[in-house]
């Protein structure tokens, strides 16, 4: 099993989520994160002093799926998350040893 | 800092400029009131050194009461700011605070320059005042009451303007906002005001001559603000993501309901200056007006809670808050001419109507983030009509007719002028921010600020 | 939206119903006050067209002062809402705002229908009033003072009810809350009130006849509310996870301490209406009462800060806030009959007692999220007794006896009636929400709302 | 709980102690006012049973007005708390609330014990008062006005102290804070006050004899507070990370701008008690003072908005808020002796000056988290000078000279005394918290509390 | 070494943490996350308009342990986090190349 | 490719970020987390009752880099995040199967 971790722009969440549902992804976990990369932060002013907000708000989306479905899931995220502007984010794929559903104790594919 | 340095020289000039204009004006200052007794003395005086007559004391009491009431009405600005910001998103909170602060500030100056004269100056035609600008009447009448009356009226004028900002929240350009709130306080509100209230000072409006009853301004203040809000919201269009193609109405929940609730409490509190204060006289009448105001607000809250409970199967908090305001707006016109029982009915009716009205405007896809159109426009008109229906001297068709005429003329006047105003702004400086600005929030793009920098916000749309 | 549509027809009927009842009542309206002069006129009048006597002006001043005081007391509702919500969790903030808004709204109507008559109507027995419901006394006496007096009394009545909500926060059903707050304002509070204050209007209570001193209501308002809160908290039981099996007391920190602090400032501000306003006369006595009120509050804050510093080794913020309220509640009864120095002592004692009391109720496992029982119940009783101890005419055993009797009778009356009330509710609609609702928060389950949708909350219990 | 138990016995003793001191004082209490008529009676009285003269009624009106104004000024404490906490970080919010609560509480007692006497007692030298401590003048004069006057003065005294806390926020020890705010209210403020205002009661200051104009305290209250703030900020040094080695100024944004904006609205509201109330007489003069106050605030907001727009290319929210306060502080001295037009100029000048001043103090690396030095110190001095420039009787060099002398003497007096005070504290209990405490926030280390336990905060510095 | 990542219901945190301590787990890291899966979100009403809150608040708990202890740790989480209702969450196991304790620079087992 | 995940003390963020930039790390993702370990939480008082805040605020920093640069990155984090006090945190290294840049669809090294 593989975990697909995507760092996306917050306002794309709906689109990505819906796209994943359509291809049958049963679940996912989302985290509020701050990103740092090519997309630079911005400068704010507060009472005469400037300060740079270097980190950009992003969402981290984690989806664990069966290894064979990775390509299609990645493809789906790519198309649904893309705006074409700097800062669209990244997708990381990791290997997952094991998955267990807490409620039932099911393991592997059944647990997803 | 360095890149700022260069830009400070003009400011020094700016200050010098102010001083020069001021100097030029110095004479005015002299003429205006050449010997204001220092308060210490007058305090002594009041202490008994010279013996005042009962009539003089009553006059002083009218000053005290009218000022206290004006202060309470001023405080409503804080209430409006809390309600509007609580009912909208965190990313626009600074912008909303600034709008509420600046509309009162700009409005105060605009009312000084133009508004007061247009509303209360001598009005040959009955359609607008023609003198008394810049508080110049004092030179004429040398009556200090002018200041008390002006103070009470300026806080009313600012209320009309601030109502608009709620309906146009989260997508209006700050510069456009400053312009239209100045115009509303300088022209749109005062001219209509002169029709209904001009005779309170030097004017005499055509509408009041017909016997139009609007004791504290359900129509003059609230409907006028509400209808301006309506046209503003129409011209702007809804916030992004508010109405989906498939016709679904998407809620955009306000970011801080307790803040909105505090705002409603402050407004309720301030309304005790708004309605009873409109006697501008410290006498026995203020008590029943206060009772009526309170009962209508209470009935409005209960009625809208029941209504929302019935419709949505849950007692919706935000709706109950609107219900209080609906009751308050509706009783504003009749508060001095109906019985307490009648006030309960008026509040209750308004409480139900506001719920239906909010649903109605959502259905016709006019996006009003705080419900200003329903609360101030619709319930303002409603209250003005109910003033005839529940008049303590009994219902007469004639009275209802006059009230209806007032309601209609307010709608007509505001629709034409505000409609034109917003159209003009749209074609010139522009009324609405860009999609990107709306998405990121106005705080950053308009002000370069963030309302809650220490809090982890939920970033979605 | 569609599924709503169907449910709107009944509302239209509802509005029509209101109008019909109103119509039926129209006559009443006429009878009640057939010619309320429009304020504009009376303003003119006050302006001097007819010459008022000094006595008339004084009466007008009493109206103005009493109304201003009433408005300040009203504003305390906002303070209570802020304190209660600040001292509880974010997931219940909407519910708490709604409760504080509705108890005042429902209370206003309940006091109109029943409460005022029971409290101030002619009382043959000395145990409860029998007339003056629905403000009907005006038809009899035609004295506009009735409205001023009623307005001042209704804001007091609502205070008693709102005290209860704090102690029962975070676990009480909204519907149950509406019922009991109506009953408290309609029955429990007014009946006791008639014993101590009835003679302020048409009544004459048995307790006041004995010389019971409760100038502004340490017992009548605060203890009554506090003891009701006690029985409510007992019947409800503690919040989940508050007390562990092993006897450990788990703190459940409030979600917004600055909000609670703002609430305390608002309450302190409002108390200047509560105590000095209880003269219901604009005269020289109000000044010392204000001084006493302020000094007691200040001493209470300092004393509880010292106490908490001593006990917990840290100056606990929340405790200092309670200390202010303790001082204010304690001085409410004696504020007109003690010296400023005495007020300092009274406040200081209350400030220490409230800390010990909070610890005590935690030890006996009565869960009071905001400390309402200690602040209003305990310190209310304390203040009533100290009114005798520090009486400026000197201490007499007799006076202490009467005060003690008043304190005891308040406790007895409320324990019986409120105890029964909560029992009844528990057996019928139910008093407490389900475990799941309590865990998820009342905002979602009771109102379908969220207080802070844009903020990332820390999800734990 | 157990480890607490042991520490409660001393508290019981503490209470008993209070009672004993009180008993000893009981006599005083008797002497002071042996028959305060119960308000009920006096209400009856006012009702007409005995006939008051117009002069008596006017006196009563002065009581009512002065008390209402005092309550409004008290409420400013809430405004200061909101502004200070909104402009600082979440990790210090509880500490800031406690400071604002305690400076008023400690200040009230300190002013009772020492301050009032030093400020308004008979002043043989003209440099400080020598009697009237503990409200003892009542025994002498038996004039209830003393209480009204004291109440109005105590809220002013507390304002001076609270100003300081803003400039020293986020790094000052709580214990040190309590000490210096007591000293400011007991000594530093009253002594200067006696120079300018002593003759309002029994004193007669050298400065007022020269004709120094400071109607409501631009210098007496605001500059005094502002200069104390300056020396406090200097002695403390800047917050960690505020100024980088390379000379860069790092902004430390406030955690809640809407809260700060609410604070500004509350302050504006309270200022209507501060300025018009300073007549301490309910008469016609209050109206123009209110108008002037309002116009200066509005002009200040607009001017600073324009200034910040010009300098930073964005209309900075926080600066506009400072602009309102700048206008209010500047008009406080001249509000009774200039025309409304002049008030607009004064406010506008202050609005620009405050922006430049904030930038200036940042450049010289004096860290003032809320801008207290610029708003109260600089604009207080500015307003005092402009009182001469814009005096309605025309500008005279002599008048300007006296005003300048007053401004200079305030700066000198406060610099010496406050400078010495802070130095002493630094060398004894210590003025500043440890680096670790500053980093973690004062809430945890000083109070063991957290302001927002249910919110996910952004943890950075 | 292995990383065990558990998505649990927020109110189970205490229980799970205590259970893990008892079996000698020395440390863990917890993150506020939003979950999407079989457990559906709920509908809220705001001023007359409904809106669906699709994401459910969850906690992500990360524990890195020696490979041999994985079974017992997983078992412990299963029992302590389980309520039996839909939405109890999942456990994911990942391989960890290396662990370093920042304070000391220790690596591997010692770093835990 | 490898993912380096560091749990650090919040106030070290600036230093670590700058240090990483200097060695040419192009991007990173930061998350607010709560930590539990040797560094104990603290006790707070609220209205007379004490309560223990067991979890300590930390930041989780994720950096994905080419495998060969892992040692230098780890070293950089170690030195820049270290205060020498308990609670400095940990560094975890994981294997990453694949990286994709959403904007361009680039994969592997190019995507970083
Ligand atoms: N090496 C990396 N490791 C972890 N996260 C990264 C890395 N590089 C970028 N990110 C994340 O991806 C987001 C977008 O990357 P960025 O370089 O800004 O734009 P783009 O995705 O167009 O290359 C960043 O905000 C950050 O959260
Ligand atoms: N494929 C997945 N990848 C990542 N997280 C998942 C996945 N499926 C479920 N989750 C997480 O587990 C939580 C619980 O899953 P859910 O399907 O709602 O109930 P259950 O755990 O009983 O199957 C979800 O809220 C989500 O956070
Ligand atoms: N086994 C673990 N798995 C995941 N995170 C851990 C583990 N042990 C510690 N941590 C994280 O590292 C942080 C610091 O660890 P701690 O034991 O407190 O101090 P030190 O890093 O000095 O050993 C903890 O707060 C926690 O967030």
Nearest to B461 among A11, A32, A58 (CB): A11
The ipTM value here is 0.96
Task: State residue F39's pLDDT score.
Answer: 92
Tokens 């400020």, residue?
Answer: D119
* Nearest chain A CA: its distance from B449 CA (Å): 6
Ligand nearest to the CA of F61: 1
Nearest CA to B386 out of F70, C31, C23 is that of C23
Residue whose CA is closest, atom 5 of ligand 2? A28
Nearest to E97 among F2, F60, F78 (CB): F2
Contact in structure between D194 and D123 (CB atoms under 8 Å): yes
Provide the mean pLDDT of chain A: 95
Distance, CA of D286 to CA of B64 (rounded, Å): 8
DSSP letters for D187-254: IIHHHHHHHHHGGGTT---HHHHTT---SS-IIIIIIHHHHHHHHHHHHH-PPTTSB-TTSPBPP---
pLDDT at C461 over 80: no
C104: helix, strand or coil: helix
Distance, CA of C348 to CA of B152 (rounded, Å): 42
D395: helix, strand or coil: coil
Which regions of chain D are under pLDDT 70?
1-9, 19-20, 22-49, 461
Q: How far is CA C98 from CA B301, B343, C174, C188, C430, in A?
A: 10, 22, 9, 22, 19
For residue E58, report the distance from its CA to the centre of ligand 2, in Å. Answer: 10
- Listed by number, the residues of chain E in 62-81 with a beta carbon closer than 8 Å to a beta carbon of chain C are none
The verdict on the CB of residue A101 being under 6 Å from ligand 2 is yes
For residue F99, report the distance from its CA to the centre of ligand 2, in Å. Answer: 24
Which regions of chain E are under pLDDT 50?
none
Ligand nearest to the CA of F9: 3
Q: What angle do CA A38, A43, A48 make, to 5 degrees?
A: 165
Cα Rg, chain E, nearest whole Å: 17
Chain D touched by B283 (CB under 8 Å) = no
Give A7's contacts in chain B (Cβ within 8 Å): none
pLDDT per residue as tens digits for the range B199-235: 999 999 999 999 999 999 999 999 999 999 999 999 9
The secondary structure element, H or E, covering residue E62 is strand E56-65
Contact in structure between C347 and C308 (CB atoms under 8 Å): no
Task: State residue C25's pLDDT score.
Answer: 62
How many distinct helices (H) and strands (E) make up chain D? 21, 0
Helix axes C379-389, C340-363, angle to 10 degrees: 150
Contact in structure between D337 and D213 (CB atoms under 8 Å): yes
Task: State residue D41's pLDDT score.
Answer: 40
Give E95's contacts in chain F (Cβ within 8 Å): 94-95
D266: helix, strand or coil: helix
Which class for D74: exposed (0-12), middle (13-18), buried (19 or more C-beta within 10 A)? buried
- Listed by number, the residues of chain D in 395-424 with a beta carbon closer than 8 Å to a beta carbon of chain C are none
Give D461's contacts in chain F (Cβ within 8 Å): 10-11, 14
| C-beta atoms surrounding E68 within 10 Å | 9
Paired tokens of D65: 């007005």
- Listed by number, the residues of chain E in 27-46 with a beta carbon closer than 8 Å to a beta carbon of chain B are 44-46
Distance, CA of F87 to CA of F35 (rounded, Å): 9
Give A57's contacts in chain B (Cβ within 8 Å): 457, 459
The verdict on the CB of residue A103 being under 6 Å from ligand 2 is yes
Chain C touched by B196 (CB under 8 Å) = no
Q: How far is CA D345 from CA B14, B103, D287, in A?
A: 11, 19, 19
Of the pLDDT bands very low, low, confident and very high (cuts 50, 70, 90), residue F52 is: confident
Ligand nearest to the CA of A87: 1
Give C286's contacts in chain D (Cβ within 8 Å): 63-64, 67
Distance, CA of D56 to CA of C284 (rounded, Å): 10
Per-residue tens of pLDDT for chain B, all 461 residues: 334 444 566 677 777 777 667 666 653 344 344 434 343 444 444 444 478 999 999 999 999 999 999 999 999 999 999 999 999 999 999 999 999 999 999 999 999 999 999 999 999 999 999 999 999 999 999 999 999 999 999 999 999 999 999 999 999 999 999 999 999 999 999 999 999 999 999 999 999 999 999 999 999 999 999 999 999 999 999 999 999 888 889 999 999 999 999 999 999 999 999 999 999 999 999 999 999 999 999 999 999 999 999 999 999 999 999 999 999 999 999 999 999 999 999 999 999 999 999 999 999 999 999 999 999 999 999 999 999 999 999 999 999 999 999 999 999 999 999 999 999 999 999 999 999 999 999 999 999 999 999 999 998 75
Distance, CA of C1 to CA of C403 (rounded, Å): 59
* Nearest chain D CA: its distance from F26 CA (Å): 21
DSSP letters for B391-450: -TT---HHHHHHHHHHHHHHHHHHHHHHHHHHHHHHHTT-SB--HHHHHH-HIIIIIS--
The verdict on the CB of residue F5 being under 6 Å from ligand 3 is no
The verdict on the CB of residue F88 being under 6 Å from ligand 3 is yes
Which DSSP letter does residue C404 get?
H
Distance, CA of C40 to CA of C67 (rounded, Å): 19
pLDDT at C342 over 80: yes
Q: Are strands F2-8 and F56-65 parallel, antiparallel or unpaired?
A: antiparallel
Distance, CA of C47 to CA of D70 (rounded, Å): 27
Q: In whole angstroms, what separates CA D132 from the centre of its chain?
A: 22
Tell me whether residues C15 and B395 touch, CB distance under 8 A.
Answer: no
Instruction: Give me the mean pLDDT over the C131-138 stretch.
Output: 96
Task: State residue D264's pLDDT score.
Answer: 98
Nearest CA to C298 out of C275, C265, C273 is that of C265
Helices (H), C313-396: 317-332, 340-363, 372, 379-389
Torsion of the alpha carbons at C98, C104, C108 and C110, rounded to the nearest 10: 70
Cβ-proximal residues to C461 (8 Å cutoff; 6+ apart), any chain: C240, C241, C439, E10, E11, E14
Chain D touched by A47 (CB under 8 Å) = yes
pLDDT per residue as tens digits for the range A30-89: 999 999 999 988 888 898 888 888 899 999 999 999 999 999 999 999 999 999 999 999
Contact in structure between E58 and E8 (CB atoms under 8 Å): yes
Of the pLDDT bands very low, low, confident and very high (cuts 50, 70, 90), residue C24 is: low
Distance, CA of D109 to CA of F18 (rounded, Å): 52
Paired tokens of C28: 């009443």
Tokens 């507390």, residue?
Answer: D158
Distance, CA of C98 to CA of C447 (rounded, Å): 9
> In this structure, is the dihedral angle defined by the CA atoms of residues B252, B253, B259 and B262, taken in order, positive or negative?
positive
Task: State residue B20's pLDDT score.
Answer: 67
Q: What angle do CA B141, B147, B150 make, to 5 degrees?
A: 110
Nearest CA to C308 out of C295, C296, C326, C333 is that of C326
Cβ-proximal residues to D28 (8 Å cutoff; 6+ apart), any chain: C339, C341
Dmax (CA) of chain C: 78
Nearest CA to B75 out of D282, D327, C85, D79 is that of D79
Instruction: Give me the mean pLDDT over the F44-63 stretch.
Output: 92
The verdict on the CB of residue E37 being under 6 Å from ligand 2 is yes
Of the pLDDT bands very low, low, confident and very high (cuts 50, 70, 90), residue C12 is: confident
Task: State residue C21's pLDDT score.
Answer: 74
Task: State residue E3's pLDDT score.
Answer: 98
Task: State residue B461's pLDDT score.
Answer: 52
pLDDT at C4 over 60: no
Task: State residue B15's pLDDT score.
Answer: 74
Distance, CA of C29 to CA of C33 (rounded, Å): 7
Provide the mean pLDDT of chain E: 95
Q: In whole angstroms, what separates CA A57 from the centre of its chain?
A: 13
Chain D touched by C307 (CB under 8 Å) = yes
E6: helix, strand or coil: strand
Give E59's contacts in chain C (Cβ within 8 Å): 459
Which DSSP letter does residue B374 get?
I
Task: State residue B274's pLDDT score.
Answer: 98
């Amino acid at each position: 099993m593989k975990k697909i971790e995507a760092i996306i722009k917050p306002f794309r969440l709906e689109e990505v989520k819906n796209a994943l549902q359509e291809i049958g992804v049963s679940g996912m976990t989302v985290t509020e994160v701050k990103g740092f990369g090519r997309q630079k932060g911005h400068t704010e002013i507060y009472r005469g002093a400037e300060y740079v907000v270097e980190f950009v708000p992003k969402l981290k989306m984690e989806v664990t799926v069966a290894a064979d479905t990775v390509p299609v899931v990645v493809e789906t995220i790519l198309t649904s998350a893309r705006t074409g502007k700097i800062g669209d984010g990244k997708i990381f794929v990791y290997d997952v040893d094991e998955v267990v559903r807490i409620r039932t104790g099911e393991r592997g594919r059944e647990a997803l | 800092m360095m890149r700022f340095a260069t830009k400070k020289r003009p400011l020094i000039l700016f200050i010098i400029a102010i001083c020069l204009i001021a100097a030029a004006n110095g004479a005015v200052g002299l003429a205006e009131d050449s010997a204001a007794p220092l308060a210490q003395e007058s305090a002594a005086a009041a202490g008994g050194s010279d013996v005042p007559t009962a009539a003089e004391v009553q006059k002083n009491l009218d000053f005290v009461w009218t000022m206290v009431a004006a202060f309470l009405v001023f405080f409503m600005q804080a209430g409006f700011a809390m309600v509007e910001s609580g009912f909208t998103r965190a990313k626009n909170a600074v912008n909303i605070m600034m709008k509420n602060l600046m509309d009162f500030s700009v409005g105060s100056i605009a009312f000084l320059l133009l508004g007061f004269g247009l509303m209360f100056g001598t009005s040959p035609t009955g359609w607008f005042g023609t003198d008394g600008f810049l508080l110049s009447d004092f030179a004429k009448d040398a009556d200090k009451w002018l200041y008390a009356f002006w103070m009470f009226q300026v806080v009313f004028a600012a209320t009309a303007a601030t109502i608009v900002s709620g309906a146009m929240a989260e997508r209006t350009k700050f510069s456009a906002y400053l312009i239209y709130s100045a115009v509303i306080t300088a022209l749109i509100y005062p001219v209509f005001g002169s029709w209904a209230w001009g005779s309170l000072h030097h004017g005499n409006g055509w509408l009041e001559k017909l016997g139009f009853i609007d004791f504290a301004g359900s129509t003059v203040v609230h409907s006028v603000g509400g209808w301006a809000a309506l046209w503003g919201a129409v011209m702007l269009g809804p916030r992004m993501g508010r109405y989906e193609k498939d016709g679904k109405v998407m809620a955009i929940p306000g970011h801080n309901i307790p803040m909105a609730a505090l705002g409603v409490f402050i407004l309720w509190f301030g309304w005790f200056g708004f309605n009873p204060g409109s006697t501008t006289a410290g006498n026995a009448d203020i008590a029943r007006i206060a009772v009526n105001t309170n009962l209508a607000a209470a009935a409005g809250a209960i009625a809208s809670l029941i209504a929302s409970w019935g419709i949505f199967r849950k007692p919706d908090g935000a709706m109950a808050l609107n219900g209080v305001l609906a009751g308050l707006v509706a009783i504003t016109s009749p508060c001095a001419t109906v019985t307490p029982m009648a006030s309960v009915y008026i509040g209750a009716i308004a409480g139900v109507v506001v719920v239906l009205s909010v649903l109605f405007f959502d259905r016709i896809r006019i996006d009003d983030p705080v419900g200003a159109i329903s609360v101030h426009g619709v319930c303002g008109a409603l209250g003005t009509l109910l003033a005839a229906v529940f008049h303590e001297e009994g219902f007469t068709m004639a009275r209802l007719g006059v009230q209806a005429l007032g309601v209609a003329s307010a709608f007509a006047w505001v629709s034409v002028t505000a409609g034109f105003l917003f159209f003009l702004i749209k074609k010139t400086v522009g009324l609405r921010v860009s999609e990107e600005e709306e998405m990121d929030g106005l705080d950053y793009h308009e002000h370069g600020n963030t309302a809650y920098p220490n809090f982890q916000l939920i970033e979605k749309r």
